[in-house]
Structure 1
Amino acid sequence: MQYDVKSYCCQLEFSTKCFHKMANHVIVNSTIISDHLPQTYQRVSENENILVAQYEHTRSVLDMKSNRIKDIVESFDKSQKSVGIYVPAGSSQKINELINDEGYYKFCDYQLSESNDNRYDRTQNECSYIGIAHDSNFPHVKFCSNLNYIAVIVYYYDGDIIRWKLKFQYWNCPIIFEMHRVTYSLAENIVLSCDPQTIDVYTTSKWYLFRYDVKLPEIPKKLYH
């Protein structure tokens, strides 16, 4: 699978083999243990391209440029399910995770361990509910987050179109905003990006890149907790 013009991976029996082409044309080879070919890839900065792999109940983050692997300490019951990892601040020192807990999404926050820089520790005693429920009609989930808000997009493929639903919520505000769209696509791919003032949704067809620019509404201060 090709994640961008310089990064691609293939799945072996219980591991993923990756290749990343550096600016000096050196190819960085890396291998990470995984149950299946990872779907979560993020170009965090000019110096970090990360891939998130899962093996049984262990999630690991591979930096494809440095060939470093950092494990995420198990932080929730095995009955709960991780549905995504996102790096919010332009550096993999800190990561966020979205989990499905009996039909409702929870938000977990991690940072690199002070005692072991190959491991992430959770910053909270408990992951926090965000007020957005899982929708079984939309099996695919992605999310992004920053200091202002969290956004969750759910979607499914219907022939040559993608049906998707975006929900987002400001931190400490009870209002959940929602929008629905149907997009023509043969690529079966969707990308979500959280900027301070906008949420960008990207889908692709054979010849075109579609961008949906969602402007964030202003919320009266009295509605914040």
Structure 2
Amino acid sequence: MMMARSAVAKKKSRSALAVALPRELLVDIVGILAASSPQPMADLCNLRSTCKDMYGACKERHVGRRLAMEKERGMKWRDTVAYFAMLKNLADAGNPEACFTLGLTLVLARHNEQQGLACLEQAAAGGHKTAAYVLGMLLYTLKDRRDVAKRYIGQVEGDLMRKVATEKTNRECTKYRQLAVNAVREVAWKGMENGGQSGLVPEEEYRCTNARCGVPEDWADYDVFCGDDCRIRHECVQFFGQVSRYTTLTIQF
């Protein structure tokens, strides 16, 4: 009986501490924990059980947006159902990494392009450059969305931050291309067992006449292009060529 009273008293004291803090500060503190903890879901569960105030703070969208998704990837292999439930909840909260992973899953594994692209767009709007890269690749295959696709690749490269952009490079694309390929492999890993293969169908009539287009920049590991179309077409060939073993998509651009 004394132990039960002690537990109740302890819980009330924690609630009093939470009440003493401004709500915004409490939510911000929990958000920092979600972003920095090596096991954010377990720590948030522990916090939610302490008192009503902490429970409410842990449920705030701000906390979900900041949660470090990469720390919970092990859950995907331990409990797939729980992992995708968490993924959906975090995507609903606007977590960029969750939106990116869910978007890829919808497009590649569940063939739901409309919702998948919407999730990828939300991730890119939250500053997720790998999502912006994948959007650039996917949207360029749709002739009526190519201007949007080029803007996403410009976001990846930071073109808008440069005052002079007469030449286009794929300096940043080379980095985010590899991250995107790794993400596709992780999302579509079951397709590897089924021998998934995508088709790549380029437009034969397209030819660039600039001899310096697509030429490496001195000793650098990136190329220089004469314009947006040449750069994004080069990236499409590279990206879809690398992910072809993991997907069953037929790509034409």
Q: What TM-score do the two structures reach when normalised by structure 1?
A: 0.25
Report which of the two has the higher share of strand.
1
> Higher relative CO (CA 8 A, sep ≥ 6), structure 1 or 2?
2
Which one has a bigger Cα radius of gyration?
2
Q: What TM-score do the two structures reach when normalised by structure 2?
A: 0.23
